[in-house]
Amino acid sequence: MIQEGNVSYTIEGGIGTIEFFHPSHNSMPGSLLSALASQIHQAGQDKDSKVLILKSAGEKTFCAGASFDELAAIEDPEIGHHFFMGFANVINAMRKCPKLIIGRVQGKAIGGGVGLASSTDICYATEQASVKLSELAVGIGPFVVGPAVERKIGLSAMSQLAIDATGFQSAEWARQKGLYAEVYASIHEMDHAIQSLAEKLASSSPEAMADLKGIFWQGAQHWDELLSSRAGISGRLVLSHFTKNAIAQFKSK
């Protein structure tokens, strides 16, 4: 248990499932991000799993992004950089994982949640899985998750999300832009499709899937440095009066 949140890993029939949970709409404090990055790395080395599923607990929000409590507590750029490296480390763990990762998005994905969905190799969602990059509304910007989102849906669509920071785009919009492979009317239908695909992949060649994933992520080899640099930008901006006031107002609602 991590600050009332947790990350779990189960395996059945060569299918490894990584699930994260936090009681505040599956938001992500630093400790939970660290645990998730570590679990993704470990699952990637687990010889018993052939394919991975990334999901969150519950039937509503997939991930509400960064923990506002921790954002509000950041007092210097170094601490800010360290916090935002949490998302960078998760994205890079997914990028480097030699196994294909199937994303399961049952509800809204906000901020860092869009980054997580974008970093899977294929992502299924429900009609409730609308998306929003909310960072600019609190004076930051989707700097760390931006490369992952842009890689998945293109610069134009990522820019639209980043600029309209208070508005949600529908799951169907996200499907049309390439974030979601399919959108389903219910969680049951989505889970059936995910299980069917995972079973097919679990019987496929691990070597071929690893090589294929390398092609999918071609051009991202410099992301260790890139995302660290982006984390520094967010770590600096989170200290601004604008951001401090915006976060305080959000928390008071």
Q: Over the chain (253 residues), what is each successive 10-residue block's mean pLDDT?
A: 81 98 94 97 97 97 92 91 96 98 98 98 98 95 97 98 97 98 98 98 97 97 98 94 87 69
- Judging by DSSP bridges, how do beta strands 109-110 and 131-132 pair with one another? parallel
The partner residues of 11 in beta bridges, in order of sequence, read 16
Q: What residues are paired with 109 via a beta bridge?
A: 63, 131
Q: What is the DSSP string of 59-127?
A: SS-SB--B-HHHHHH--SHHHHHHHHHHHHHHHHHHHH-SS-EEEEE-S-EETHHHHHHHHSSEEEEET
The dotted CATH code for 6-187 is 3.90.226.10
Closest CA to 101 of 33, 27, 15, 188: 15
Q: Are 65 and 27 in contact (CB under 8 A)?
A: yes
- Residue 2's pLDDT is what? 53
Which pLDDT does position 3 carry in this prediction? 58
How deeply is 14 buried, as exposed, middle or buried, from its count of CB atoms within 10 A (0-12, 13-18, 19+)? Answer: middle
Task: Tell me what pLDDT residue 86 has.
Answer: 96
Query: CB of 63 within 8 A of CB of 113?
Result: yes
CB 251 within 8 A of CB 64: no
pLDDT at 65: 94
Exposure of 47 by Cβ count < 10 A (0-12 exposed, 13-18 middle, 19+ buried)? Answer: exposed
Predicted confidence at residue 69, as pLDDT, reads 85
Extents of the domains making up the chain: 6-187
Torsional class of 175: left (φ above 0), alpha (ψ -120 to 50), beta (otherwise): alpha
